[in-house]
């Protein structure tokens, strides 16, 4: 599987995983993530999501990193609604986003100018006890700065 993926033979790699699943073998979350990442890099986040769902239905463990990788893939394709839907799926599957997941979604929302939603998501993250990283802060500052004046930005953070 890894050899196919490294050589850019994505279809063959996916077929190898399908054969593994048919024979009762389960790929690890790392192997799953490598394929999700490769599919997203090829511009196929919907296929990555389908692959994730297929693995999950066969009993494979899917983790927050797998979800985040697919969410990032949708975000890179500027398919924000699918990214947000996948974030909802993450909540519904009783898994919890981490700081990286939130940062990816905040960045995607900011790119689309949906700063109010991005701000609400940061508040939700803080309310859940997740501490933002420097990357999270940089993302918020960058996206906010590109959309509004610095004065409004500094007033917002003083209120928080």
**Are 69 and 110 in the same domain?**
no
Q: What's the pTM?
A: 0.82
Q: Is residue 15 part of a domain?
A: yes
**Predicted pLDDT at 158:** 53
**What six digits make up the tokens of 123?**
């508040």
Residue 1 is predicted with a pLDDT of 56
Residue 159 and residue 101 in one domain: yes
Torsion angle of the four alpha carbons 132, 60, 30, 135, in this order, in degrees rounded to the nearest 10: -10
Report pLDDT for 159.
54
Domains held by the chain: number: 2
pLDDT for position 153: 54
Domain limit, last residue, from 17, 47, 79: 79
The three-point CA angle 83-123-117 to 5° equals 45
Q: Within 10 A of 117 (CB to CB), how many other CB atoms are there?
A: 17
Domain boundary among 79, 113, 128: 79
**Residue 137 is part of which domain span?**
97-160
Digitized pLDDT (tens) for each residue of the chain, 160 residues in all: 556 556 666 677 777 777 777 787 888 888 889 889 988 988 999 999 999 998 888 888 899 999 999 999 999 999 999 999 999 999 998 899 999 999 999 999 998 989 899 989 999 999 999 999 999 989 988 887 777 655 555 555 555 5
Find the DSSP H helices in the chain: 2-6, 10-22, 29-41, 45-57, 64-76, 80-92, 99-111, 115-127, 134-147, 150-159
Query: What is the residue-averaged pLDDT of the chain?
Result: 85
Model confidence over 78-118: pLDDT tens digits? 999 999 999 999 999 889 999 999 999 999 999 898 989 99
């Amino acid at each position: 599987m890894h050899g196919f993926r490294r050589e850019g033979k994505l279809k063959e790699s996916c077929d190898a995983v399908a054969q593994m699943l048919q024979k009762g073998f389960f790929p690890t979350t790392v192997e799953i993530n490598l394929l999700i990442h490769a599919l997203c890099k090829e511009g196929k986040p919907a296929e990555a999501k389908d692959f994730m769902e297929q693995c999950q239905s066969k009993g494979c463990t899917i983790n927050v990193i797998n979800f985040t990788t697919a969410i990032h893939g949708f975000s890179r394709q500027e398919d924000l609604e699918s990214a947000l839907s996948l974030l909802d799926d993450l909540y519904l599957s009783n898994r919890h986003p981490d700081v990286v997941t939130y940062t990816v979604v905040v960045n995607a929302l900011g790119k689309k100018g949906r700063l109010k939603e991005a701000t609400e998501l940061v508040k939700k993250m803080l309310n859940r006890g997740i501490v933002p990283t420097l990357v999270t802060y940089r993302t918020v500052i960058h996206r906010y700065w590109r959309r509004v004046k610095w004065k409004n930005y500094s007033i917002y953070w003083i209120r928080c």
